[in-house]
Amino acid sequence: THFIVETLPGFDGQLPFKLETGYIGVGEEEKLELFYFFVESERDPQNDPLMIWLTGGPGCSGLSTFLYEFGPLTFDYANSSGNFPKLELNLHSWTKVANIIFIDQPVGTGYSYAKTSEAYNSNDTLSATLTYDFLRKWLMDHPEYLKNPLYVGGESYAGIYIPLVTRKIYDGVEVGDEPQMNIKGYIQGNALTDTYIAVNSRVKYAYHMGLISDKIYQSAKANCNGNYVDIDPNNILCLNNLQKVKKCLNNIRSHHILENWCDLSFLRSNVHSGPWCRENNYIYSKIWANDKAVQKALNVREGTILEWLRCNNSMRYSARESMNRSGSYVFDIQTSIDDHRHLISKSCRALIYSGDHDMTISHVSTEEWIDTLKLPIVDDWEPWFVEDQVAGYKVKYLQNDYELTYATVKGAGHTAPEYKPRQCLPMVDRYKVKYLQNDYELTYATVKGAGHTAPEYKP
Ligand SMILES: COc1cc(/C=C/C(=O)O[C@@H]2O[C@H](CO)[C@@H](O)[C@H](O)[C@H]2O)cc(OC)c1O
């Protein structure tokens, strides 16, 4: 079931874009009701790409991307009084150039819910399977979009299964799954691809960005043999080096290393106190998305969730009972490099970008796993520009019909459009235009200065 939403509390007048919300039942006996927001492209909905966007966490809502990264609306912070947030149009929304499905997955995320409590249990493999199931059913409900070029998109933790969902779609086309999808590629930002590389490369990243000295880095690299994750407890020299590293990084905000580090305990009290913190912005969505009038306007089914959470962290860290949902999340995929490797044989293009001020999942880690693909380079490291300014750097790889381009967004954090909005929309639009050549061309773009994950910092 889905409905068109014409007005929303906090936004004056009719929405100047087409917003649809709804639920799609997936999983055995369709016990899982996955909620989604769908925004039609404001440019050419019949021909512009269709993209399904998978948010990170796991457990972060598609509404978080919608409101803080590249959706059509954002909070009007300057005019929002403490009691109810006002919304304004996002001039850099990606829905100006693409039809986008913002999904609340896995179950337990956002407004999605399960009909039984044990159905809240999830894992990476199941997330990918159910996302593919969701997309097939959504396209059966919306056959008019079957001909649009299809892209799988996502960020952060979703990097673990974006290539797997993409792979399922390609394989589905090859075995004749219905409906036949016009898959063209995938796009991911500050995406977790290999958990070891992502964590291990933080020391090198910190050195790159001047957070630790050359001396500390060289000493740690030598004593730890470049492995800062699995450390022999008898390796005292390495442990001492890492103590020094920890001291340097403790009060750095990992999602954007130049922004204020804040004691997030105020989050629970909803008090805007002390220095400005990006996390202050997230209080607005907590108020807005839990408002009953908002949920009615969005056609959220009453009584299905106790509290909307921007990120249901209980899934990310442990199986402990979370505030409003029981259920455990098993991280059963440690790396998705092989799924990227599988796509190299397809006619497929992906855009993979990284904000270069994100230490959570840094561009250094992304460069490291891409190198393992050993793809031939066609355009080596060079700047890309927006309005005559360097917006980041990119490298383009090509192998048969598989083209991957890597790029950074200079100065953005995690996630780029929140920090560099002007840069991320043209980056995506340029990339999208290329699909007209009918070949598979992957453009990897870092979002310079974007962190984890890019669109939140650089809309
Ligand atoms: C479960 O294991 C890991 C998960 C992550 C996930 C980070 C994440 O999704 O960040 C969120 O992204 C979303 C964007 O999707 C942001 O909105 C949230 O603020 C942000 O917290 C990272 C790791 O380290 C490399 C892990 O080991």
The pLDDT, as a whole number, for residue 417 is 84
Evaluate: CB of 192 within 6 angstroms of ligand 1. yes
Residue 446, pLDDT score: 64
60 lines ligand 1 (CB under 6 A): yes
The closest residue, in CA terms, to atom 26 on ligand 1 is 195
Q: Considering the candidates 358, 362, 363, 452, report the single residue annotated as catalytic.
A: 358
Q: What separation, in Å, do the N-terminal and C-terminal C-alpha atoms of the chain show?
A: 31
Beta carbon of 281 within 6 Å of any ligand 1 atom: no
Chunked mean pLDDT (size 10), the chain, 459 residues: 96 98 97 97 96 96 98 95 89 97 96 91 94 98 97 97 98 96 97 97 97 97 97 97 97 96 69 77 94 98 95 65 60 96 96 97 98 98 95 96 95 91 91 44 66 86
Q: What pLDDT is recorded for position 273?
A: 64
Tell me the CA–centroid distance for residue 178 and ligand 1, in Å. 33
Distance 31 CA to ligand 1 centre (A): 27
Whether 156 is a known active-site residue: answer: yes
Residue 361 near ligand 1, beta carbon < 6 Å: yes
Q: Which residue lies with its CA nearest to atom 2 of ligand 1?
A: 316
Active site residue 326: no
Residue 340 known to be catalytic: no
CA of 192 to the centre of ligand 1 (A): 8
Nearest CA to ligand 1 atom 20: 57
* Signed CA dihedral, 447, 449, 453, 458: sign only: negative
Q: Please give the distance, rounded to the nearest whole angstrom, from the Cα atom of residue 219 to the centre of ligand 1.
A: 29
- Quote the ligand 1 centre to 239 CA distance (angstroms): 26
Q: For the whole model, what pTM was predicted? A: 0.91
Give burial (CB, 10 Å; 0-12/13-18/19+) of 337: middle
Closest ligand 1 atom to the C-alpha of 68?
17
Is 9 buried (19+), middle (13-18) or exposed (0-12) by CB count in 10 A?
middle
Pocket test for ligand 1, best of 452, 457, 458 (most atoms within 8 A of CB): 452
Is 452 touching ligand 1 by the criterion CB < 6 Å?
Answer: yes
List the residue whose alpha carbon is closest to atom 22 of ligand 1: 157
Question: Atom 1 of ligand 1 has which residue's CA nearest to it?
Answer: 316
pLDDT of residue 269: 57
Report CA(196)–ligand 1 centroid distance (Å): 14
Interface ipTM above 0.90 = yes
**Residue 445 confidence (pLDDT):** 67
Q: What is the 3-state secondary structure (H, E, C) of the chain?
A: CEEEECCCCCCCCCCCCCEEEEEEEECHHHCEEEEEEEECCCCCCCCCCEEEEECCCCCECHHHHHHHCCCCEEECHHHCCCCCCCEEECCCCHHHCCEEEEECCCCCCCCCEECCHHHHCEEHHHHHHHHHHHHHHHHHHCHHHCCCCEEEEEEHHHHHCHHHHHHHHHHHHHHCCCCCCCEEEEEEECCCCEHHHHHHCHHHHHHHCCCCCHHHHHHHHHHHCCCCCCCCCCCHHHHHHHHHHHHHHCCCCCCCCCCCCCCCCHHHHCCCCCCCCHHHHHHHHHHHHCCHHHHHHCCCCCCCCCCCCCECCHHHHCCCCCCCCCCCEECCCCECHHHHHHHCCCCEEEEEEEECCCCCCCHHHHHHHHHCCCCCEEEEEEEEEECCEEEEEEEEEEECCEEEEEEEECCCCCCHHHCCHHHHHHHHHHHHHHHHHCCCCCCEECEECCCCCHHHCCC
